[in-house]
Amino acid sequence: MCEYTAQDYKKGQPRWCPGCGDHFFLASLHKAMAEVGVAPHDMAVISGIGCSSRLPYYVNTYAMQTIHGRAAAIATGAKVANPNLCVWQISGDGDGLAIGGNHFIHAMRRNIDLNMILLNNRIYGLTKGQYSPTSPRGFVSKSSPYGTVEDPFRPAELCFGARGHFFARSVATDNAETVEVLKAAYKHKGASVCEILQNCVIFNNGCYDPIYNKEGRKKNAIYVRHGEKLVFGENNEFGLVQEGFGLKVVEIGKDGYTIDDILVHDAHCEDNTLQLKLAMMDNESGFPVALGVIRDVEAPTYDDAVHEQLAEVSSQKKYHNFMELLETNDTWEVV
């Protein structure tokens, strides 16, 4: 097996604004690709339209920038046509959840073996600052000068509602965690959704400031690890316990709570109730933002099922190629 480095997957000079989260993510993707060890010619990176969707130009793999919102459709075709291809689908929150929303949920429902990356900056950056499907209610933008009157999509909610089996989240500036999340997505057999939180330095700078640096994440985020206690804080002094049908933040060692009371993360549980509660936590509600692999459950994949069905049907037919098909019907000899 060949050993690869991040350099083997690099191509071109990225044309994003200085400080854009896309730069951070691209570096993590190059590193993750090298660490999973799949040859560049066995990978494809497919995107739609948007700032994030320029990414295929900067990877030394098969790559294609498609039309707006259609990345999942093209990626599905590529994977079904060539099951041995490792397919990375790159979309922004606008491309993936607005015009591409239907493709997103149906890729989840079908459980196609794609690594679906959602770069979420809560804004349309390429078209100069309109609010997106993930912009919060009241958000002021060029297309909502008095504030939006809509509630946003929350990607985890869509993924889980469409019967998704893998959901992970990372912050673009957190290189080590992003690499681990991408590697976990690659290892998962089926549709993997990785939500990458990133600032748009021009039109929505600071939208993730509470967790955008290491110090902020210690206070305002929780790294979830399968089989480990759900603890967080600068000294892991806080934890999550179940209270009724919800979660509660407690300080370990106070009010009678001990480490034994803290929940253990189970990413492999088929019932997604607690996983969804983790994914929906936010700082505005007094909770830490969950980072890492939140859900990772095995299930049959669409692409495997299609090829198994083709093999089964083919085995029962009298013909297996075009000439045999012709010979199964009545024939005439033209003299």
Interval 57-66: pLDDT, tens: 999 999 999 9
Rounded to an integer, the average pLDDT of 301-311 is 92
Mean per-residue pLDDT of the chain: 95
Give residue 322's pLDDT band: very low, low, confident or very high (50, 70, 90): confident
Who contacts 221 (Cβ-Cβ below 8 Å, separation ≥6)?
A: 171, 211, 232, 288, 289, 290, 291
Contact 82, 156 (CB under 8 A): no
User: Amino acid identity of 1?
Assistant: M
Angle (CA) 66 7 80, round 5°: 35
**Reduced to 3 states, what is the DSSP secondary structure of residue 190?**
coil
* Model confidence pLDDT, tens digit, residues 98-138: 999 999 999 999 999 999 999 999 999 999 999 999 999 99
Q: What is the structure's pLDDT at 199? A: 95
pLDDT, residue 54, reads: 96
What's the pLDDT at 315?
Answer: 85
CB neighbour list of residue 118: distance below 8 Å, 6 or more residues apart? 91, 92, 93, 96, 97, 155, 193, 194, 195, 196
Amino acid 175: pLDDT:
97
How much is the pTM?
0.93
Q: Give the C-alpha separation, 13 to 35, whole Å.
A: 22
pLDDT in tens, 13-35: 999 999 999 999 999 999 999 99
Element (H, E) at 170: strand 166-171
User: In the predicted model, is pLDDT for residue 1 greater than 70?
Assistant: no
Taking the C-alpha atoms of residue 125 and residue 85, their distance in angstroms, rounded to an integer, is 31
For residue 95, what is the DSSP state?
A: I
Phi, psi values for residue 309, rounded to 5°: -65, -45
Whether 229 has a pLDDT exceeding 60, the answer reads yes
* CA gap 332, 134 in Å, rounded: 64
- The pLDDT assigned to 314 comes to 83
d(CA 298, CA 278): 19
Does residue 118 contact residue 92 with C-beta atoms inside 8 Å?
A: yes
The string of pLDDT tens digits covering residues 169-218 is: 999 999 999 999 999 999 999 999 999 999 999 999 999 999 999 999 99
pLDDT band at 334 (very low <50, low <70, confident <90, very high): confident
